[in-house]
Amino acid sequence: MKLLEGKTALITGVANDYSIAWGIAKALYAHGAELAFTYQNERLKEKMHGLVKQFNPRLVTELDVTKDEDVARVGQEVLQTYGQVDIFLHSMAFVPKEDLHGEFAKISRSGFALANDISAYSLINLTNALLPAFEAAGGGSIIYLTYIGGEYAISTYGMAGVTKAALEISGKYLAQSLGERKIRVNGISAGPIKTLAARGIKNFSGLQQKAQDFMPLKGEMTPDDVAGTAVFLGSDLSKSITGEIIHVDNGFHCVRG
Ligand code: 0WD
């Protein structure tokens, strides 16, 4: 039996077919989920429609999480199109370059606010917009992507780590407040994976190599390596797990050299 048969998943954060969200979308679909997609802006519209055609999605819609009207509209569109939602994948992040690469003490007020708005607050406001659709399903599973730089200071990750700490604790408070409605909220803390967002991080290859040297399980990680955990968290196999963060990082989190 397919683990996600009869479930509908909203996938955010596909920028291209290197995105972690893309690897997860493929796996959710293979396990029987029906998919809906968002893309960040008009510029990506045509490319996204071409990319996701293979999943026959009924909804492919624009979503800039800094716009309240986009967030509210997506919640309504999901409910109108599918009548419910069972899985929401949050796979988005942004930090202005100057606040990612500069000296940490020099992070700007506006950069701090924007980075947290896009990377962390979006989990809260999108969840809120999707509540009617989750309620129609009688519960569901929210899955977000995070990184160990939210737990420890990792050089070159800086402000992005601050947003991950905010995202992770937001996930736990959401888990607490939505538990009665059978909505679960869990994070996947992924190891370094070469994507568009990763390329924005200074010396990402160096960081990736350093992590790989320490990882108990060897080898470069890909989105497909993360996808199985998303299938598990989206499925009823994990029905008693919420407020959790699973490290899918070849074991990097458990070693200190
Ligand atoms: O090593 C990595 N790649 C890791 C990534 C390790 C651990 C965690 N993560 C996290 C990221 O922080 C992010 O939360 O995984 C998530 C997905 O990241 P990704 O797959 O590495 O990156 P990417 O393919 O670039 O997708 C992120 C997307 C954006 O792409 P851009 O073009 O900015 O690189 O986030 C989306 C956008 O599609 N995004 C937005 N979506 C809606 N509204 C917005 C926005 N304002 N800003 C960015």
Do the annotations mark residue 27 as ligand-binding?
no
pLDDT digits over 142-166, tens only? 999 999 999 999 988 999 999 999 9
Does the CB atom of residue 13 touch ligand 1 within 6 A?
A: yes
pLDDT top residue among 190 and 204: 190
Read off the pLDDT band of 256 (50, 70, 90).
confident
pLDDT at 207 over 90: no
Q: How far apart are CA 26 and CA 64, in angstroms?
A: 23
The model's pTM is 0.98
Counting atoms of ligand 1 from 1, which one is nearest the CA of 198? 3
Do the annotations mark residue 170 as ligand-binding?
no
Q: How far apart are CA 59 and CA 49, in angstroms?
A: 10
What is the distance in A from the centroid of ligand 1 to the CA of 180?
30
CATH number of 8-249: 3.40.50.720
The dihedral region occupied by 173, where left means phi > 0, alpha psi between -120 and 50, and beta the remainder, is alpha
User: Is 157 assigned a catalytic role?
Assistant: yes
Ligand 1 pocket test, pick from 16, 17, 19, 168 with the greatest ligand atom count within 8 Å of Cβ, gives 19
Q: What's the distance, CA 178 to chain centroid? A: 18
pLDDT at 36 over 80: yes
Does the CB atom of residue 192 touch ligand 1 within 6 A?
A: yes
Position 122 scores a pLDDT of: 98
Domain ranges of the chain: 8-249
Position 257 scores a pLDDT of: 77
User: Is 82 assigned a catalytic role?
Assistant: no
Q: How far apart are CA 47 and CA 86, in angstroms?
A: 26
- Pair 13, 61: CB distance under 8 Å: no
pLDDT digits over 219-243, tens only? 999 999 999 999 999 999 999 999 9
Do the annotations mark residue 174 as ligand-binding?
no
